[in-house]
Amino acid sequence: TDLSVFSTRVSAFALVCGRVLSELLLFLFGLSFFVVAFACAISALEQDDPDFAGIPKSGLQLYKMVFGMFSGVHYDMLMDYPALMFAVFVYVITTIIFMLNLLIAQLNCSYQATYQD
C-alpha cells in the first residue's frame, strides 16, 4: 500500500481489493455459520453414512458441496437415507442459491461504494 501513492490506478486497485476482501471474509463467516449449524443437525439425524459421522466430518462434506468437490457417487449414496438427503438438499439450496447471490450483491455494493468515492 505504500507504493500505491505513486499511481492513481494502483491506489484505486488497492482500495477496491481491501474492501472486497473484507466482504469476502464476512461471506466466509456466514458460510461457516451455516456449515456448523447444518453439520450439527445432520450429525443428530439417525443415519449411518460414514461421510456424515460426526460434526467435523459432516462439516467437511458440506464445505466440499459448496466448492463443488463432493462427487456424484456420494450423492447417490445419500439416497439410502431420506432424512439426510432432505437436509443436504435444504443446505445446498440455502448456500448455493442464497449465500452466493448474497456474496454477489455484497461485492457489487462494495465496488459501487468504492467507485463513488
Domain boundaries, the chain: 21-116
Whole-angstrom distance, CA of residue 98 vs CA of residue 94: 5
Neighbours of 61 (CB within 10 A): 20
CATH number given to 21-116: 1.10.287
- pLDDT tens for each residue of 47-98: 999 999 999 999 999 999 998 898 888 888 889 899 999 999 999 999 988 9
pTM of the model: 0.80
Show the DSSP H helices in the chain as ranges: 8-44, 55-66, 72-78, 82-92, 100-116
15: helix, coil or strand? Answer: helix
